[in-house]
Structure 1
Amino acid sequence: MEPFRLTASQAQAKFKDGSLTVEQYAQSLLDRVAARDSTVNAWAYLNPELVLERARELDAIPPEKRSPLHGVAIGVKDVILTKDMPTQYNSPIYVDDAPKIDAASIQTLRANGALIFGKTTTTEFAATVVGPSHKGPKTTNAHNSKRTPGGSSSGSGAAVGDLQVPIGLGTQTVGSTIRPGSFNGIYAMKPTWNSISREGQKLYSLILDTLGLYARSVEDLKLLLDAFQLVDDEPEEPFTLKGAKLALLTLPTPEWPEPGPGTAAALKKGTELLRAHGAEVEEITLPDEFRSMYKYHLQVLSGDGRVAFLADYYGAKDKMHGSLIDHVENKDKHTRQDQLKAFDELAAMRPKIDAFASKYSAIVAPSVLDEAPVGLENTGSAAFCGPWTAMHTPVVNIPGFKGENGLPIGLSVVAGRYRDQYLLRVCTEIGKVFEGEGGWSR
């Protein structure tokens, strides 16, 4: 197998047995980027000489002193500070801007031996909306260059989906990690909110933004959770599908759009597969008390955006996307009382969603409306991702299904807050079924 095709865990096994060096691995990844970059365009910044220099430094570390993420190549969304690479936010305000500091997440990854590979593309400030004036990157879907990779974590999703790196960092404020995961046919995780430091990460919303994780296996996601020291309160116990009670959430509330044909088929097939493997699947809709969740979510974003983009508005309003200006100028005319109500209503829902989730082994739900839309100006609807962001729960997109055009579609699996490691054990078993029998393969 060519080294670039290896997952992070597979590459690490070869580093340990001496059959592959980090430099050889990095060169294979760089060769893959060189062959595909003109089509996928996943990188906002990539310096091959720097990558190889760092790889050689890692190879020079004696085996007994190597860290848990030794040699793992990671693409970093370009809203997260990196001391040896520019951080440009896909904004004309920050072209070639290069603060000499690592975000806390990057410091943690480097301390654990990771190879920070390059900066991946993003929509402007990871916050711009879709539409004719959308300021999006030129990144394309890993499986069809005429379709979007999703956003705002466009480059990270596409780079991992296209085998250019095994791991990617994204962020999620509504659906910016889960949606690209589904569109590019990879695992994507939004951990429990505030379980990983966001220091040194450009924040759109202080109470919603969460670091996102991309990989091609659950095993690789666990490498990251362990490095970030995400630990559940409950003891680690094996999970089996046989006898598990799963909730199937086909439509969160009546306010959400209907799934497209590809997602509807994935939900149907996913249910059949889970039942065939011995799980009990109960089709549900969220109770009425969650009906206004999305409305409050958007109100919080509107208010938080007024704060997040104010400094750039004062300094370079003429270089900002119109939707960001609308936030600062409060185009929707939300009052402070509106903002308080949105904060408080969402906060009140979170323990209720935990209690609801505790009735089941996990919740299975749609990740996206359908396959990735045609074109690059529309990164797709985030409606189905929003509930789990607003509720601060961990969620994983599991690939395995395909739509009418043969493109990947994933399903989301959700657990209550701070049950991230438990969720990965669930996803390990569900992932075997969906990837093995769902009908789509890379």
Structure 2
Amino acid sequence: MKTETILALSARETASRVASGDLTARQVLEAHLEHIATTDGPIMAWQYLDPAQARAAADVLDRRGAKGPLAGVPVGVKDVIDTRDMPTGYGTKVYDGFRPPWDAAAVSLTRSADGLILGKTVSTELAMASPNKTRNPHNPAHTPGGSSSGSCAAVAAGHVPLAFGTQTSGSVIRPASYCGVTALKPSFGLINTVGIKVLCHSLDTLGVLARGIEDAAHAASVLSGYKALATLTPPARPRLAVLPGTRLEKADPASTEAVLRLKAQAEQVGAEVTLLDPPDWYDGIFDLHEAVMGWEVTNSLAPEIRDHWQDLTPVTRAMLEDQGRVTEPRYRAARERLPALRARMDDLLSRFDATLTLAAPGEAPEGTATGDPIFNRLWSVLQVPLINLPGATGPGGLPIGVQLVGARGADHRLASAALWLEQTQKALP
């Protein structure tokens, strides 16, 4: 099979062909290694990639006859997720060369499903806001976003069909919008986060980056044991909502237009669409995210703050100083308010298969700054499932996504609606 044919396969198609013997894991790997060698120069998506190590792993899969749901699928793993056979540097020189003695749960489950851990993708420092070397594949003069920059860029560039990222504020959805890839950030707690560098223990979520929603949901099914996610069922006539939200002065017109264009496309082919005004308690949730993240980040990174302060970048130090202003009473008050607000939002969101809103303020900014997570933070603290659906293009020729939101635990319903919308986009001009 030709290299370009292999590269065009979805993750599910790749696994099926490797399991049936039509392809070997080594053939799949060589196609991707060749593509990386010719395209990664200006992108710099990879923190660690050893072709010889990857070839040895692929040969092991072929010798034993890989049959798992991710058979032979190359996977990129964000460099804040532990791997026992590769360095995990958490995006900072403080841990340069560190080798954990374990695999994170998600990595172990991927290996058990016969997936091939290809390498470690670049992360911002400690999964915060200080940019690292990765550039946007659509235009290297622009940021790929953060903190899952390498994973989003690697999928966008065709280096891997699947990659893992993490989100505490907006670090899966926003860079996926900037890079033009599909992202699934599941409900908080659906995927085990053991072995991932802790930033904020009540918000950290592992997300999946892919070229389409079926691949992302399939991988999430493997990692979570939520078997229904492996088979999505698009609704016959989806019930959709549009919730632009608040703080829209921070959004470029193109981002709002992407949401309205998808709304119009959905209505054109029969979806029931409701335009929602934000509830009066909506905007206050931004402050609750700030309180929870500020207190928990400061405590989670106490060793780095205490022992390695001068080794951290100025951007990280400034962010930690800002986070450190959150007091314990403010944190406790936020934690007390959140359960009721999460329940109220679940009641609202559960009326719909998906709610459409902004994924990012606009196209990827020029330069290295990772962008503003303003339109993701509220949803992250509510712990709901999120999807970035790519498809729009901004005035500068860069991708813009639409963020799809569901109620907590409604991951299958949300992903099924996303598949319907993805198919609608492809069917319409």
TM-score normalised by L of structure 2: 0.94
Take 2:388 and 2:118, find their aligned partners in 1: how far apart are those partners?
Answer: 24
Q: Deviations 1:154-201 (Å, cap 9, x if unpaired)?
A: 000000000000000000011100011111111101100011111110
Partner of 2:179: 184
- List per-residue Cα deviations over 1:231-256 (Å, max 9, x = no partner): 3999x8943353x3211012x23x45
Q: 2:189 aligns with which of 190, 194, 214?
A: 194
Which of 148, 151, 157 is 2:152 aligned to? 157
Matching residue within 401, 425, 432 for 2:416: 425
Residue type at the aligned position of 1:152? S
SS in structure 1 opposite 2:40?
A: helix
- Equivalent in the alignment of 1:53: 56
Distance in 2 between the 1:290 and 1:268 partners? 21
**Is the 1:90–1:121 contact (alpha carbons within 8 Å) kept by the matching residues of 2?**
yes
User: What is the one-letter code of the residue matched to 1:227?
Assistant: V
Quote the Cα distance in structure 1 between the aligned partners of 2:296 and 2:13: 41
Matches within 5 A, 1:217-296: 217-231=212-226, 238-242=233-237, 244-250=238-244, 252-253=245-246, 255-296=247-288
1:316 aligns with 2:317: no
Alignment-derived partner of residue 131 in structure 1: none
Q: Match for 1:416 among 390, 404, 407?
A: 407
The 1-side partners of 2:271 and 2:236 are apart by 5
Q: How big is the shift at 1:148? A: 0.8
The aligned runs of 1:8-157 (5 Å cut-off) are: 8-62=11-65, 66-128=67-129, 135-157=130-152
Q: 2: distance between equivalents of 1:233 and 1:187?
A: 19
Percent identity, please.
32
User: In structure 2, what residue type is equivalent to 1:39?
Assistant: P
Match of 2:208 in 1: 213
Residues 102-121 of structure 1: CA deviation (Å, up to 9, x unaligned): 01111111111110010000
Provide structure 1 residue ranges, at least 5 long, that are not aligned to the other structure.
129-134
Q: State the shift of 1:3 in Å.
A: 1.6
1:132 matched residue in structure 2 = none
Moved more, 390-399 or 277-286: 277-286
Which letter does structure 2 place at the counterpart of 1:369?
P
> Per-residue deviation at 1:305?
1.6
- Counterpart of 1:372 in structure 2 is 364
Aligned mates of 2:107, 2:249 — CA distance in 1: 37
Aligned partners of 1:394 and 1:415 also within 8 Å = yes
Residue equivalent to 2:340: 348
| Length-normalised TM-score, structure 1 | 0.91
Instruction: Give distance in 2, aligned partners of 1:8 and 1:76.
Output: 15
- CA spacing shift, 1:435–1:138, aligned 2, 3 Å: farther
CA contact under 8 A between 2:15 and 2:68: conserved in structure 1?
Answer: no
Deviation of 1:322 after TM superposition, in Å, equals 4.1
Contact 1:400 1:409 in 2 (8 A): yes
Bigger mean CA deviation after superposition, 313-322 or 266-275: 313-322
Matched residue type, 1:415: G
> What is the Cα-based RMSD across aligned positions, in Å?
2.0
Residue 125 (structure 1) shift: 0.3
Distance 1:8 1:285 in 2: 38
Q: Would the alpha carbon gap of residues 232 and 37 (structure 1) be closer, same or farther in structure 2, given more than 3 Å must change?
A: closer
Deviation at 1:283, TM superposition (A): 1.3
Q: Summarize the Cα distance change of 1:402–1:330 in structure 2 as closer, same or farther, 3 Å threshold.
A: closer
Q: Alpha carbons of 1:385 and 1:399: their partners in 2 closer, same or farther (altered >3 Å)? A: same
Query: SS of the residue aligned with 1:40?
Result: coil
More divergent stretch after superposition (11-20 vs 186-195):
11-20
Q: Which letter maps to 2:43?
A: V
44-53 vs 406-415, which deviates more? 406-415
**1:290 match: secondary structure:** coil
Letter of the 1:154 counterpart: S
Asked if 2 retains the 8 angstrom alpha-carbon contact of 1:196 and 1:228, the reply is yes
| 1:313-360 residue CA offsets vs partner (Å, 9 max, x unmatched) | 222221023455456667763321111112222232111111011122
1:356 alignment partner AA? L
Report the Cα offset of residue 38 of structure 1.
1.1
Partner SS, residue 166 of structure 2:
strand
Identify the match of residue 394 of structure 1 among 385, 390, 404: 385
How far does residue 278 in structure 1 lie from its aligned partner after superposition?
Answer: 0.4
Q: Does the CA-based 8 Å contact 1:247-1:283 persist in structure 2?
A: yes
Deviation string for 1:29-75 (max 9, x for gaps)? 11111111211100010000011110111111236xx2221111110
Distance (whole Å) between structure 2 residues aligned to residue 282 and residue 331 of structure 1: 37
Deviates more, 1:165-174 or 1:364-373: 364-373
Q: What displacement does 1:276 show?
A: 0.3
Residues 380-438 of structure 1: per-residue CA shift (max 9 Å, x gap):
1111111221110001111111111221111111111111122211111111122443x
Q: C-alpha separation between the residues in 2 aligned to 1:225 and 1:282?
A: 29
Asked if the contact 2:232/2:412 (under 8 Å) is kept, the reply is: no
Following superposition, the deviation at residue 101 of structure 1 comes to: 1.1
Number of equivalences: 425
Q: Which amino acid in 2 is paired with 1:382?
A: P
d(CA) in 1 for partners of 2:258, 2:99 = 43
